[in-house]
């Protein structure tokens, strides 16, 4: 849903920034790598210490590189398989860092703050694992010459939801139950998406 409705808005918003970076001679690949490093830093330096709001703000700042590098690549005619591969691969790294940071918090410092900590750690871990499987299901289908562009929980949707929920939990000092519900729903939506993609690939495979 976000890919459909928000990408055009952010492309228009970030195009002037992309133009400046291109004039400075900065490569889209460099933006991709720096953006991923920034996301990992925000997630792994702040989330494990319970600084959920600061971590979310840092991640949000760097996560826009995922759109920025694409604009730069298209404007310079450098769009290609390598850029798409690098972007997709590093997206998985960033996503894992976000949920991994939450796992570290709930399994570490957060354990002192409530009995829900093990449950929260398990939910964050489930989101990490199922999110990776969602991406793999699509990549594997494309490797077999089929498509799996279906599902209720695309990467952008999952990312926005977890960042909003985590950021507001830190800002308003909300009880963990609210973030726990969001993580549970994200895990469920990811599982449904995996099943949807498997069924879509099965349909195509049987039709061959």
CA distance 178 to 52: 14
The encoded tokens of residue 106 equal 């709930």
- Dihedral sign, Cα of residue 177, residue 100, residue 34, residue 79: negative
Find the catalytic residue in 66, 69, 87, 91: 91
CA distance 101 to 82: 28
CA distance 166 to 168: 6
How many CA atoms are closer than 13 Å to the CA of 62, on its beta-carbon side?
24
91 is catalytic: yes
Exposed (0-12), middle (13-18) or buried (19+): which is 149, by Cβ within 10 Å? exposed
Catalytic positions are 91
């Amino acid at each position: 849903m976000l890919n459909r409705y928000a990408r055009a808005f952010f492309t228009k918003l970030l195009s002037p920034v992309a133009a400046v970076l291109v004039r400075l001679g900065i490569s889209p690949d460099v933006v991709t790598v720096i953006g991923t490093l920034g996301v990992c830093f925000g997630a792994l330096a702040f989330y494990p210490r319970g600084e959920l709001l600061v971590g979310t703000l840092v991640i949000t700042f760097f996560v826009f590189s995922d759109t920025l590098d694409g604009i730069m690549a298209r404007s310079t005619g450098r769009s290609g398989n390598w850029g798409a591969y690098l972007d997709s691969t590093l997206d998985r790294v960033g996503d894992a860092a976000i949920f991994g940071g939450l796992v570290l918090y709930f399994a570490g410092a957060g354990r002192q703050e409530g009995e829900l900590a093990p449950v929260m750690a398990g939910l964050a871990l489930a989101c990490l694992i199922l999110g990776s499987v969602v991406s793999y299901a699509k990549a594997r289908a494309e490797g077999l010459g089929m498509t799996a562009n279906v599902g209720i929980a695309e990467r952008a949707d999952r990312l926005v939801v977890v960042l909003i929920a985590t950021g507001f939990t830190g800002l308003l000092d909300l009880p963990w139950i609210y973030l726990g519900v969001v993580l549970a729903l994200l895990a469920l939506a990811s599982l449904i998406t995996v099943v949807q993609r498997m069924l879509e690939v099965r349909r195509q495979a049987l039709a061959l």
